[in-house]
Structure 1
Amino acid sequence: MLKNVAVPLLHGVHPFELGVVCEVFGLDRGDEGLPVYDFAVVSAEGPTLTTHVPGFTVSTPYGLDRLDEADLVVVPAGSAYAVRDYPPDLLAALRRTVDRGARVLSVCSGAFVLGAAGLLDGRPCAVHWHHAELLARQYPRAVVEPDVLYVDADPVITSAGTAAGIDACLHIVRKEHGPEVANAIARRMVVPPHRDGGQAQYIERPLPRAECDTVGEVLVWMERNLDEEVTVEQLAARAHMSPRTFARRFQQETGTTPYRWILRQRVLLAQELLEASDETMDAIAGRTGFGNAAALRHQFVRSLGTTPQAYRRTFRGPQAA
């Protein structure tokens, strides 16, 4: 059971990514019946560390020995992490963490620290898309997945940029304590408890929203009526366009076709219902517009690489039949 969390810091650490970890694991929410972690921010380079924000420093009395008792060690992002050297003591401590069966998590460019420690060798991993090519080139034995929010290659978990660190942290909470605890923490943070994904190791990014209002009202209607069968002609009529113009505008503004957009939203709704309800597969298929359990299963496997039943067991435990 996850009880002890340590966060080693280097000069140039990004306060936001550090704050994400502190928010999920460092706050005492015991009065709400939520887990309380033995949490410590640890220095890898002296008692006072600079951040990438001028004039913003971080001080801590803890040294790297604190990592040896942690169940989870989190390495947040930092400036120039892709091109700098790292303290050998930190890299050795990260290797010991994995060797004794504890977990390590990187947020964004923190993956370069794990790469320097040799922990990405032969493992799938995630990093901010801007760094993906460089990470793959710098650590050729790493299996870089550039299009995911995070990768769970337990005991090494890596996340993409900024907000993806929230996704990865909540994923760990969900694995350790179940969806109710993860959902409660997410609610306090005012973030989605599970933005997108089925298999924890390969979570596709959500489809981009439209950047202008040309098809915005139609998107809202589609989201509210996922159980309805609609055609491009019907959607175009709602947008007061010809079908050809609507399809072109939709592709330009969302990056995908109406069919693929609505299919992805239906799968996302199915994921939410599988996590949060005891509804039957046929009932979920009806609410999400798939019609029947067989069609739901087909599209779920095609989109996420796992079955609805397996997904429900993963996120609600073995008791979810």
Structure 2
Amino acid sequence: MRRVGFIIFPGYQVMAFAAVSAFEVANQQAGKPVYDVHFLSESGGLTQTSIGLSIGSEAFDDTPYDTMIVGGGGEIVPATPGMISFVQDSVERCRRIASICSGAFVLAEAGLLDGRRATTHWIYARALQDQFPKAKIEQDRIFIHDGPIWTSAGMSAGIDLALAMIEQDLGAELARMVAKKLVVYHRRSGGQSQYSALLELEPKSDRIQSALAYAKKNLHTPLTVPELADAARLSPRQFSRAFHAETGQSPARAVESLRVEAARLMIEEGQHQIDVVAQHTGFADRERMRQAFLRAFGQPPQAIRRNARAAAVIE
């Protein structure tokens, strides 16, 4: 049975506990205890979370663990010397060490991210990179594992990290069963973007939402303004005005964002040639897709594919 330790501290964010559920359900689906989960804190006893809920914990000691996970807090605060020392000592006692959300700052303070690829919640990624320049922070990733060090983005990304661990330990089928029981997508790959073009557009009316949903389903087509207006049940002129008022963008720019998002996912999956990706996502040719990628990411599609392949080799 694999012993898993969750390091908690005052102000620990409750959402990070979602990852615990994945290990709990893995025990249920396996039909036997395969994970033994413990909550750990510097002093032991009750530890108050960011929402005021108190959780019982065991004090740090030299017990060996298979996996040690540091969650995040409601805000970034320096880790105590005791926590840093415990995390550093865990390198010798654990097969893998992980962080969820801003817990990456603790790993970084302990020196565990030096020279390694890592991620965190996109809100904190720039600060993490600036504060710890030896780390290689990739802010647009759900989770990353570079050798024995695992890091994830914030909030629900901890579930993706836990599912990836379960898959590594017990196989893809059991991880799929756990994901199904948790009613989550099985599973978002670590390389998937933290961002969503539809979320960033934030349309307010049902009509504009319908037009965007139509666009996402029909990216392989030209998607003209009259066509989108028809999906929204508005005249082209009314549609253009309403679209810009609700999203702050023109329909053409929004559609390009949706195309780029879909194309990037296909390219990172690596199953299709660049020309095929361009056609499938509605770019007239690979050069137009290249220009769109440069505008969005500052890199051409080929560079993003190389990075995805390099990351797969490391992981």
**Structure-1-length-normalised TM-score:** 0.71
User: What is the CA deviation profile of residues 95-128 of structure 1, one whole-angstrom value per residue up to 9, with x for unaligned ones?
Assistant: 3433467211111121121122111222232222
CA distance in 1, matches of 2:35, 2:131: 35
Given the alignment of the two structures, is residue 21 of structure 1 paired with residue 19 of structure 2, yes or no? yes
Q: What is the RMSD computed on CA atoms of the aligned residues?
A: 4.4
3-state DSSP of counterpart to 2:4: strand
Q: Give the counterpart letter for 2:197 in structure 1.
A: L
1:124–1:281 CA distance, 2 compared to 1 (3 A):
closer
Q: CA deviation at 1:264?
A: 2.5
Aligned in 2, Cα 1:116/1:258: closer, same or farther, shift over 3 Å?
Answer: same
Partner residue of 1:205 out of 190, 195, 214: 195
Are 1:217 and 2:210 matched, yes or no?
yes
Identity of aligned residues (%): 25
Q: Is the 8 A contact 2:219 2:281 kept in 1?
A: no
3-state DSSP class of the match of 1:64? coil
* Residue type at the aligned position of 2:54: T
Q: 1:289 maps to which residue? A: 280
| DSSP-derived class of the 1:65 partner | coil
Match status 1:73 vs 2:68: yes
Secondary structure at the counterpart of residue 60 of structure 1: strand
Shift of 1:232: 4.2
For 1:203 and 1:176, locate their aligned partners in 2 and report how far apart those are by CA, in whole Å.
25
Structure 2 CA distance for partners of 1:151 and 1:61, relative to 1, 3 Å:
closer
Contact 2:264 2:301 in 1 (8 A): no
Report what 1:183 is aligned to.
176
Between Structure 1 and Structure 2, which shows a larger proportion of helix residues? 2
Q: What amino acid sits opposite 1:138 in the alignment?
A: Q
Consecutive unaligned residues of structure 2, counting only runs of 5 or more, are 294-299
Moved over 6 A (4+): 298-301
* Alignment-derived partner of residue 50 in structure 1: 48
Aligned partner of 2:256 in structure 1 is 259
Number of residue pairs matched? 295
Q: Tell me how far 1:230 sits from its aligned partner.
A: 3.5
Answer whether contact 2:142 2:191 (CA < 8 A) is retained: no
Q: Decide which moves more: 212-221 or 29-38.
A: 29-38
Q: 1:254 to 1:194 in 2, by over 3 A?
A: farther
Give me the whole-angstrom Cα distance separating, in 2, the residues matched to 1:74 and 1:254.
43
* In 1, Cα distance between equivalents of 2:147 and 2:193: 15
CA contact (8 A) 1:211 1:253 kept: no
Q: What corresponds to 2:296 in structure 1?
A: none
Aligned to 1:162: 155
Match of 1:94 in 2: 87
Q: 1:167 deviation in Å?
A: 2.5
**Match of 2:78?**
84
Deviation per CA, 1:136-187: give whole Å up to 9, x if none: 3432322333333333223222222212222222233334444433332222
Superposed, which structure 2 residues align to 1:262-277 within 5 Å? 262-265=259-262
Distance in 2 (CA, whole Å) between partners of 1:204 and 1:302 is: 18
Q: CA deviation at 1:75?
A: 0.5
Secondary structure of 1:208's partner? Answer: helix
The 3-state SS of whatever aligns with 1:305 is helix
SS of alignment partner, residue 198 of structure 2 = coil
Q: Contact 1:149 / 1:205 at 8 angstroms: preserved in 2?
A: no
Q: TM-score, normalised by structure 2?
A: 0.72
The structural deviation recorded for 1:51 is 1.9
- Match of residue 123 from structure 2: 130
CA distance in 1, matches of 2:57, 2:240: 61
> 1:20-50 deviations in whole A, cap 9, x for unaligned?
1211123454356698312222232222222
Is 1:112 matched up with 2:112? no
Query: What runs of 5+ residues in structure 1 fail to find an aligned partner?
Result: 315-321
* Alignment check: 8 A CA contact 1:40 1:62 kept: no
Structure 2 vs 1, CA of residues 303 and 204 (structure 1 numbering), >3 Å: closer, same or farther? farther
Does the 8 A contact of 1:212 with 1:253 survive in 2? Answer: no
Q: Residue deviations 1:253-290, cap 9 Å, x none?
A: 6995213304534665x69xx89xxxx969xx79x936
Cα distance in 1 between the residues matched to 2:57 and 2:42:
10
Residue of structure 1 in register with 2:144 after alignment: 151
1:163 maps to amino acid: S
